[in-house]
Amino acid sequence: MGQLIDGQWVTDEQAGSISKSGEWTRTPSVLRGGLEPEDVTPGRYHLYAAWNCPWAHRVLLTRALLGLQEVLPVSLVAPKRTEDGWVFDPENGYIDQLTERRALHEVYAAGQADYTGRVTVPLLVDTKTGALISNESADLVRMLPPAFAHLAERPRDLYPAELAKDIDAWNALIHTKLNNGVYQAGFAESQPAYDAAVSSVFETLDTIEAALENKPYLTGDDLTEADIRLFPTLARFDVAYYSAFKCMRRRIQDYPNLWPFARRFYALPGIAETVKFDIYRKGYFSQSPKRNPLGIIPIAPDIDWSI
Ligand SMILES: N[C@@H](CCC(=O)N[C@@H](CS)C(=O)NCC(=O)O)C(=O)O
């Protein structure tokens, strides 16, 4: 792995950092641009994503829910990290549709010659100006529905004003304690850091389980950003986080409300195409000096995601 410094690729050990007490934190995104609806035409913007990345998954879910597949093309990097960071793998169908580059850091450097920072997915690029617009999934999930409303097959408001406060609270909780929480458990380098992370993951799942008791989605009858944040972690949980990140107190399948929620979400149009259980299993169990030195990938149980 590595990052760009003034447009030059430099390799390093791992994304994020480990504190003295063994806690892992994620490095923040640096591209935080926006979109104006009048600039949004079919094919003008291009998304870079990876099947295995839960943050990119938020954006792929938003794209699918709105039915933007035709108007917002996506290039997928191969679902594994290399010395060159994220790379394409044309032989296996992972092609940079826009510029036919070899590695994502080349896309970043082409869009911004002095870019300094991590080379992450998701990334939104303006094909007209060549500019890098945003590499922050939270911003992308917020900006795509209004900016693409006029082109969407299924336009929808994922952040209605009257629910904003409620959504903000769920978003913050899910992002910190769950989306990042599972990584904090998996990447912890001390027992106390691991214990704290796992307790917090399951406390959060319990809170969400209770909230879904009487409603189909977190803030009521309609799906919002909050549900979009929740789903990628649920989709990866039983096949990967449960074992690879040692989050073993319970499986998602064991929750009476969360499990139907996960399957209901999975059944929505376009969503199943964004979910790749085998890639999650192989990705989270890929060889790692600390977590899986021999790189043996376990055989997972079959899970029935149908409603
Ligand atoms: N804040 C970013 C985080 C994205 C992120 O961390 N992506 C990971 C993959 S899951 C990545 O590309 N990491 C590569 C690196 O940090 O070198 C977002 O939510 O969009």
**What pLDDT score does 19 carry?**
72
**What pLDDT score does 11 carry?**
86
- Which of 53, 134, 140, when mutated, tests ligand 1's pocket best, judged by the most ligand atoms within 8 Å of its CB? 53
Q: How far is CA 121 from CA 85, 182, 228, 235, 245, in A?
A: 11, 19, 17, 18, 21
Structure tokens at 25: 């934190």
Domains of the chain: 2-147 (3.40.30.10), 161-275 (1.20.1050.10)
Query: For the whole model, what pTM was predicted?
Result: 0.94
Q: Pick the catalytic residue: 45, 94, 108, 183?
A: 183
Closest residue (by CA) to atom 16 of ligand 1? 15
Neighbours of 108 (CB within 10 A): 29
Tell me the C-alpha distance between 69 and 198, whole Å: 36
The DSSP secondary structure of 91-122, one letter per residue, reads GGTB--TTT--SBHHHHHHHH-TT--EE--S-
Beta pairing class for 123-126 and 8-11: unpaired
Q: Which atom of ligand 1 is nearest to the CA of 54?
A: 10
Closest residue (by CA) to atom 11 of ligand 1? 120
Tell me the C-alpha distance between 107 and 31, whole Å: 14
Closest residue (by CA) to atom 12 of ligand 1? 120
Q: Is 53 noted as a catalytic residue in this protein?
A: yes
Over the Cα atoms of the chain, what is R_g? Answer: 19
Tell me the C-alpha distance between 41 and 60, whole Å: 18
**What pLDDT score does 29 carry?**
75
**What pLDDT score does 30 carry?**
85
**Spatial contact of 231 and 225, defined as CB atoms under 8 Å apart:** no
Closest residue (by CA) to atom 8 of ligand 1? 120
Tell me the C-alpha distance between 50 and 72, whole Å: 15
Tell me the C-alpha distance between 282 and 30, whole Å: 29
Ligand 1: lining residues by beta carbon, under 6 Å:
1, 15, 26, 29, 53, 55, 85, 118-122, 135-137
Q: Which atom of ligand 1 is nearest to the CA of 26?
A: 6
Q: What is the mean pLDDT of each run of 10 residues along the chain (307 residues)?
A: 90 68 74 96 98 98 98 97 95 96 97 95 97 98 98 98 98 98 97 98 98 97 98 97 97 98 98 97 90 90 93
Helix (H) or strand (E) holding 144: helix 137-147
Distance (angstroms) between ligand 1 centre and the Cα of 121 equals 5
